[in-house]
Amino acid sequence: MKSSIYITRRLPDSIVESLEAYFEIKMWEEDTPVPREVLLRETQNVEGIYCLLTDTIDEEVIKGAPNLKVISNMAVGFNNIDVEAAEQRGIVVTNTPGVLTETTADLTFALLMSTARRILEASDYLRNGDWDTWSPMLLTGQEVHGSTIGIIGLGRIGEAVARRAKGFGMNLLYYNRTRKIEKEEEIGIQYRELNELLAESDFVCVMIPYSPSVHHFIGKDELAQMKTNAILINTSRGGIVDEEALYEALVNKQIWGAGLDVFEEEPVSLHHPLLSLSNVVTLPHIGSASVKTRLKMAQLAADNIIHVLNDKSPLTPVNS
């Protein structure tokens, strides 16, 4: 008999077909997050859950699914899953690292450039009919080349951002929980303590995975240490930055701007104060959103389930 799996969102046909070859599938057919009660009901008898970062797979879901063997997240971040509860039950949790590294670094850099050079503001300016003449200081932003970027978290994506920054002639700094001496020479990046990095960087890029221990890692005190011309970029998880403190720092001109692809609550409310500021560029969590990369992530998440439920080692487990 085929194992059964639950998929929490409509996936591209090719991915569904690759899973159908092995499993009995049930899928939430809408392109909206599956309602909690449906998730709890539909996962009761399954061996595998294929989920997205919008699904909370907590102890209640895990306890309610006694046959569950694998939870496969179509994302590199997995803070939506209670990995400890899964581990206690011997359930494998997998994510999709690697395949999205370069694409997410591209977007991070695009966001950095857009914020520094006021691209969206300038585009709106033109379309609103405000463009009367070329003017010496019109829509002037911050210089990217020759500036200093401070990368907080030198993991795969942090390193890929550093390589791009190097190509732009930027001076590279990083802070990481553990220093990565071998990377320093390889990439040409220098280690700084967090307070030093904040004080020296023109761009502070947050590139760490979220866990409760890094909740509001960038808060009032950290923002106060940044330069007045500095720009904060966050493409990891919203909870890492204290949005209230960020708003205050932007309004009080403690820092110059921010580029955010992620928010404490997603989708972010249109009434969120940060959305009222012209020096904040906001994106709807699209770091890995290229067609190729999203298909690779979707396939890797499928392959992880196929492996585990066929008694093979998962390709990219987050737990042992």
Binding site for ligand GLV (CB under 6 A): 53, 75-77, 100, 287-288
The three-point CA angle 42-45-46 to 5° equals 80
Q: Please tell me what DSSP assigns to residue 313.
A: -
| Residues known to be catalytic | 237, 266, 285
Toward ligand GLV, which CB reaches closer, 4 or 211?
211
Assigned token pair, 244 = 């209230």
Toward ligand GLV, which CB reaches closer, 76 or 268?
76
Q: How far is the CB of 8 from ligand GLV (least distance, A)?
A: 15
Region of residue 169 (phi > 0: left; psi between -120 and 50: alpha; otherwise: beta): left
Q: How far is the CB of 229 from ligand GLV (least distance, A)?
A: 28
Alpha helical stretches, state H, the chain:
13-20, 36-42, 59-63, 83-88, 101-116, 119-127, 156-167, 181-183, 194-200, 220-224, 243-251, 291-309
Q: How far is the CB of 103 from ligand GLV (least distance, A)?
A: 10
Q: How far is the CB of 36 from ligand GLV (least distance, A)?
A: 21
Toward ligand GLV, which CB reaches closer, 8 or 288?
288
Closest among 15, 217, 179, 42 to 96, alpha carbons compared: 15
Assigned token pair, 14 = 């090719």
Toward ligand GLV, which CB reaches closer, 157 or 170?
157
